[in-house]
């Protein structure tokens, strides 16, 4: 497979370093760190083929960061929740799909 564990860790580390550099330069720590954590969760989970859970967590972090940027407005919260539900409906795998089984040791 093209994505190995080492390669996924290297890409994630690079994203963290670039993100931290941008945060230092812009002094946009809050909620910038939430955006960075959300992006790296999505990239790391996708690279490792972990399925829906890392994307789910990353989306939540990004949505909370957007909500914080808008000063915790109820309007933004409902729009963000609506977007999350739409995105989740489009990318969440079927519950009837067989789970991935690692058979590399067999």
Range of the domain at 82: 5-91
Q: What is residue 82's predicted lDDT score, i.e. its pLDDT?
A: 92
pLDDT score recorded for residue 14: 93
Closest CA to 56 of 92, 19, 96: 92
Please give the model's pTM, rounded to 2 decimal places. Answer: 0.74
Positions in the chain whose pLDDT score sits under 70: 1, 50-51, 93-100, 102, 106
Domain count, the chain: 1
Residues 6 or more apart whose CB falls under 8 angstroms from that of 17 comprise none
Burial class (CB in 10 A: 0-12, 13-18, 19+), 99: exposed
Residue 64 lies in a domain: yes
Tokens of 93: 């795998």
Residue with tokens 């914080």: 68
Specify if 52 maps to a domain. Answer: yes
């Amino acid at each position: 497979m093209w994505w190995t564990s080492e390669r996924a860790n290297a890409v994630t580390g690079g994203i963290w370093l670039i993100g931290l550099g941008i945060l230092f330069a812009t002094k946009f720590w809050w909620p910038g760190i939430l955006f960075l954590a959300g992006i790296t969760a999505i990239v790391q989970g996708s690279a490792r083929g972990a399925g829906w859970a890392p994307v789910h967590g990353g989306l939540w972090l990004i949505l909370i960061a957007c909500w914080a940027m808008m000063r915790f407005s109820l309007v933004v919260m409902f729009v963000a929740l609506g977007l999350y539900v739409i995105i989740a409906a489009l990318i969440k795998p079927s519950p009837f799909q067989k789970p991935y089984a690692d058979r590399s040791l067999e």
